[in-house]
Amino acid sequence: MALFGRAKKPDAAARRRVETWIREAGGYGPDTAMTVSEIVCTDPSCPGTETVVLLFPPGEKTGALKIAGALAALSEADVAAAFGRDRP
């Protein structure tokens, strides 16, 4: 059993699906670049696995959005709830 290693890369279809929901919930068009990543946070105050989104709207500051849960397990409601807070 390996003590260290990389987590399995999230499914490309799941990444595209979440990206679409982020664009819809945040009102971001195709000109906004973004990264959608999955991380495992070992800090006890973290929820464990998180989906982290970096948004690069043209002419604006870079924004970040964290959504508790694995990328492939997220629902459209999870993404919408994350935008219920301040827009990144």
pLDDT in tens, 3-39: 333 456 668 899 999 999 999 999 999 999 999 988 8
Report the predicted TM-score, pTM, of the whole model to 2 decimal places. 0.78
Instruction: Please tell me the distance from the alpha carbon of residue 14 to that of residue 87, in angstroms, as a whole number.
Output: 22
Tell whether the model's pLDDT for residue 48 goes beyond 50.
Answer: yes
56: confidence class by pLDDT, cuts 50, 70, 90: very high
CATH class of 12-82: alpha beta
Work out the mean pLDDT of the chain and round it to a whole number: 84
- CB-CB contact of 72 with 11 (8 Å): yes
Domain locations in the chain as residue ranges = 12-82
User: Confidence class of residue 88 from pLDDT cuts 50, 70 and 90?
Assistant: low
Quick count: other Cβ atoms within 10 Å of Cβ 22? 24
